[in-house]
Structure 1
């Protein structure tokens, strides 16, 4: 599973919520003030030892407790790593490759990513659970977007091309529905274990823009269909994917120039559309737009804007109804991912602007704790076992990967 982009924000702004940990690089080094929740800490933070530098970013985790990411060495080189519960290890390299990068991991322990060829171009690579690398035949790529439990790999070829799926035997091109989109580039967003891909089109810049804005579709075995939109959606509306489940439920957002509310999040399944409204007295509901932001029960997470408090409030939508996750100590609350039992991970910002990693479970905020010697922390992933991975920023401004477990 991987981390992807997300958004949410105040009026007139589109907030990029990149994989939650990368935002930790911007954390303000202020004295830590714990967000209000448990009176006694009930979580332990374990640093992923074997540092590859002073800056770490977590890019994926699985239910075996393995974590992948990358760090920047003192000589400003990127180094990828896998943490197995005891140490960090580097990805093995193919004989003709260099600078391998881990980008997605599944519960079988397979890892997908890329390495570089002699000319500097990237090619897609799949590493087996025992570390053996295999080139997938896709070169000149941006990277890998997702990996499912079948070992299929979603490959990113942007800009202005069509993304690919390696189905275990060959490369397949993601094609959108209909002849009108014959030349439209496509971007794969997420891959489920059935081999379905959630993807979207985006305008071709050359030689001329496409007549249609971004639209979301589901692709499988060469066939594709548009994700339905809420009633009244205009032709110029942009539809962006936010999440995808094994049963094919899609979480998405529509941004319609004719709609004064800006954009509307919703769920779509078997042709039925369920709007996701804001909390009473708030506005601008926005989904996390992370691959782990919707679960099989149809729960999904994001934020709404509270104009009276001038802050963002974390929200869990269940069966289409919003519920504030609550807690915190004066600043924004961010819900970014959730697991199958409904645990939600993210962070809470203090009144002084310092983020601290939190987990919401059964309606209660649990402060995971900012490790000793660190001033801020953010949660990025939560496994179905309830383990949370993310990063913490030290007093010197260094960023390290951590795993939080309940005592």
Structure 2
């Protein structure tokens, strides 16, 4: 056999991609010893809350190098950061002297703008246009700051005018995935909870799967192109909720994986990506264990791996990376990320006993928390190297 034929007969070696590796970085700064992460962006910035030594809540912004606390507004106290976009804008609230909260939008340079919404619960979402979804109090309808003024999120049905609305997600087109919440109205309402999409004062119900008319519909995910995820069934009983996707009037039901009697979506803001992938939890009826599951093209697949017990996937990026945690046989959670069909243990840093991943960027960096041996909760960023 000639050298040329031998070369043709032997397949070329397939280049192997290097195994991804994440390095844990603790977010440190003068914001107390207990931290809760509330948002992260693709620039590596993270926002959240810390508890100071005198038991006061204090917000923080991690810029990749240090943890800093925002200054209080001249006529307010205790600013709280709740969402951040890729431009570096931050949305949240600050407290008035009487204890009430008002919505605030901070520029990337840290300049605050009071949005005019007062006596609120907090902020739910912030898009790349600087629009803000505001969480009003019970028995009220949620609000959207559209860049110029406040708009009220209203349902499609005039008969539901008295029912409160709850915004779930705000996309970059200014669309809000929301639901009516008749249980919070002073008088009983004849309609169950329903989910709709609102934009610029107009709204439309999302369709329900066939044969489920009259059942409760809960929002569970939303994308930039308007793909919606929802669950139909009993809002108080996860075993009686059935997840599905809807886009342009088409409904795709999301069945549980083989061996599970039911599954639910994580119902986080990053439950769903533009490809239509969704993450959630399947339940094993024999053992009662929870299993992380990914739906792709409507088909379920358990993400696999695991450290001995339950696995939870709660967020997803556009690449299809899913993040969450896996518990040991002793019930101790450790932060993990699933990529290309493989589970990667991000690691619980030395001196810490457990960890959870709660946000994943498009690059694959992960934000979350870890609990120290002393019981303190610290914010961590696992950077992809």
TM-score (norm 1): 0.88
**Among 149, 164, 176, the residue aligned to 1:185:** 164
Q: Select the residue among 112, 117, 120 that pairs with 1:141.
A: 120
C-alpha change, 1:264 and 1:49, in structure 2 (3 Å) is same
The structural deviation recorded for 1:49 is 1.2
Q: How does 1:3-14 map to 2 (within 5 A)?
A: none
Q: Distance in 1 between matches of 2:96 and 2:224?
A: 35
Q: Deviations over 1:373-403 (max 9, x none)?
A: 0010000000001100000001111110000
Q: How far apart in 2 are the matches of 1:365 and 1:405?
A: 16
1:229 counterpart = 2:214: no
The one of 257, 272, 281 aligned to 1:279: 257
Query: SS in structure 1 opposite 2:281?
Result: strand
Change (3 A) 1:41 1:222: closer
Distance 1:42 1:100, change over 3 A: same
Once the two structures are superposed, the pairs formed by residues 363-374 of structure 1 within 5 Å of their partners are 363-374=341-352
**Structure 2 residues without counterparts, runs of 5 or longer:** 1-18
TM-score in terms of structure 2 length:
0.92
Partner SS for 1:281: coil
- Aligned to 2:182, the other structure's residue is in SS state coil
User: Does 347-356 or 195-204 show the bigger shift?
Assistant: 195-204
Between the aligned partners of 1:332 and 1:206, the Cα distance in structure 2 is: 38
Query: Equivalent residue for 1:351?
Result: 329
Tell me which residue corresponds to 2:38.
Answer: 59
Count, aligned residues: 366
Among 11, 20, 28, the alignment partner of 1:49 is 28
Q: 1:379 aligns with which of 338, 343, 357?
A: 357
Trace 1:6-405 onto structure 2 (pairs within 5 A). 42-235=21-214, 237-255=215-233, 262-405=240-383
CA distance, structure 2, for counterparts of residue 266 and residue 294 of structure 1 = 11
1:63–1:384 contact (8 Å) kept in structure 2: yes
Displacement after TM superposition at 1:318 (Å):
0.5
Question: Quick check: which has more Rg, 1 or 2?
Answer: 2
For CA contacts below 8 A with separation 6 or more, give which structure has more relative contact order. 1
Conserved in 2, the CA contact under 8 Å of 1:142 and 1:157?
yes
Whole-Å separation in 2 of the counterparts to 1:172 and 1:147: 15
CA contact (8 A) 1:41 1:369 kept: no
Cα-to-partner distance string for 1:10-32 (whole Å, 9 max, x where unaligned)? xxxxxxxxxxxxxxxxxxxxxxx
Deviation at 1:307, TM superposition (A): 1.9
CA distance in 2, matches of 1:52, 1:173: 35
Displacement, 1:92? 2.9
CA–CA separation in structure 2 for the residues paired with 1:354 and 1:307: 22
Cα distance, 1:243 vs. partner? 0.6
Provide the secondary structure at the position in 2 that maps to 1:304.
strand
- Aligned-pair Cα RMSD in Å: 1.6
C-alpha separation in 1, matches of 2:126 and 2:20: 35
SS in 1 for 2:324: strand
Contact 2:119 2:137 in 1 (8 A): no
Cα distance, 1:287 vs structure 2: 0.1
2: distance between equivalents of 1:117 and 1:272? 46
> How far apart in 1 are the matches of 2:245 and 2:348?
35
Of 191-200 and 91-100, more deviation after overlay is shown by 91-100
